[in-house]
Chain A
Amino acid sequence: AQSVSQHNHHVILSEAASLELGCNYSYGGTVNLFWYVQYPGQHLQLLLKYFSGDPLVKGIKGFEAEFIKSKFSFNLRKPSVQWSDTAEYFCAVPTDSWGKLQFGAGTQVVVTP
């Protein structure tokens, strides 16, 4: 069965700083990986996804993630964060053919002006 872990639970950084959030998954077959973001008071939104092909995936709002199979990792990056990136970030992996998502514990990111 697939599982996913996120290393950082709380990150505080200043605007224009670079962001990298770690995500590791356990191997269980075909790997599909997602990063979701939850802004305060808003719904979960998909940032980016990996199904196959180019391991460097670009998403919305300037985010990207790199799938490294040998390390079972799918880390999220953004070169220069903005105050509006303050949110909770979840890595997720489907664990069955019905699309059940297993979420990581989440990382609360706070960007200070």
Chain B
Amino acid sequence: DTEVTQTPKHLVMGMTNKKSLKCEQHMGHRAMYWYKQKAKKPPELMFVYSYEKLSINESVPSRFSPECPNSSLLNLHLHALQPEDSALYLCASSQLGDRVISEAFFGQGTRLTVV
């Protein structure tokens, strides 16, 4: 079982809807990530939060809005998405150290379909 929990597992939304993806980890990790994975492709980074602050935004369209309410939670707010945004959205977390980058732990993902 993954130690990173994502909800919901599946989501179908219309292009005018507003929805949120949620992610939770209790490993004490101080970095959390959102990745997007299209079918038959590797995950691609969207956002990185470190110590609850947004550290990286990979030029993601503003219809995706991340939020980190505390060190254990990460949300991704969705609004006015396009059909091409349909994908598997993965949350991950990792520990931050001075010189060593630890491995990332991934959640099961949210399978998003935009209709």
Near A by CB (< 8 A), chain B positions 3-35 give 4, 31, 33
Residues of A within 8 A of B48 (CB): 98-100
Residues of B within 8 A of A97 (CB): 101
What mask results when residues 40 to 77 of chain B are scored 1 for a CB within 8 Å of chain A, else 0?
A: 11111100101000011000000000000000000000
Interface of A, helix, strand, loop or mixed by DSSP: loop
Q: How far is the CA of A32 from the CA of B104 in the complex (A)?
A: 12
Residues of B within 8 A of A105 (CB): 41-42
Q: A44, B103: Cβ atoms under 8 Å?
A: no
Interface of B, helix, strand, loop or mixed by DSSP: strand
Q: Looking at the assembled complex, report how far the CB atom of B92 sits from the nearest CB atom of chain A, in whole angstroms.
A: 8
Q: Looking at the assembled complex, report how far the CB atom of B10 sits from the nearest CB atom of chain A, in whole angstroms.
A: 12
Count residues on chain B whose CB falls below 8 Å from chain A CBs.
29
Report if B102 contacts A (CB, 8 A): yes
What mask results when residues 22 to 43 of chain A are scored 1 for a CB within 8 Å of chain B, else 0?
A: 0000000010101010000011
Q: How far is the CA of A105 from the CA of B100 in the complex (A)?
A: 24
Residues of B within 8 A of A45 (CB): 106
Q: B42, A98: Cβ atoms under 8 Å?
A: no
Q: How far is the CA of A36 from the CA of B42 in the complex (A)?
A: 11
Report if B81 contacts A (CB, 8 A): no
Which residue numbers of A lie inside 8 Å of B, CB to CB? Answer: 30, 32, 34, 36, 42-46, 49, 51, 90, 94, 96-101, 103-106, 108
Supplied contacts A44-B106, A45-B106, A97-B101, 16 more A-B pairs, CB within 8 Å: A34-B103, A43-B4, A43-B90, A43-B109, A44-B43, A44-B92, A51-B100, A96-B56, A98-B48, A98-B96, A99-B31, A99-B48, A99-B94, A100-B56, A105-B41, A106-B42
Which residue numbers of B lie inside 8 Å of A, CB to CB? Answer: 2, 4, 31, 33, 40-45, 48, 50, 55-56, 90, 92, 94, 96, 99-109
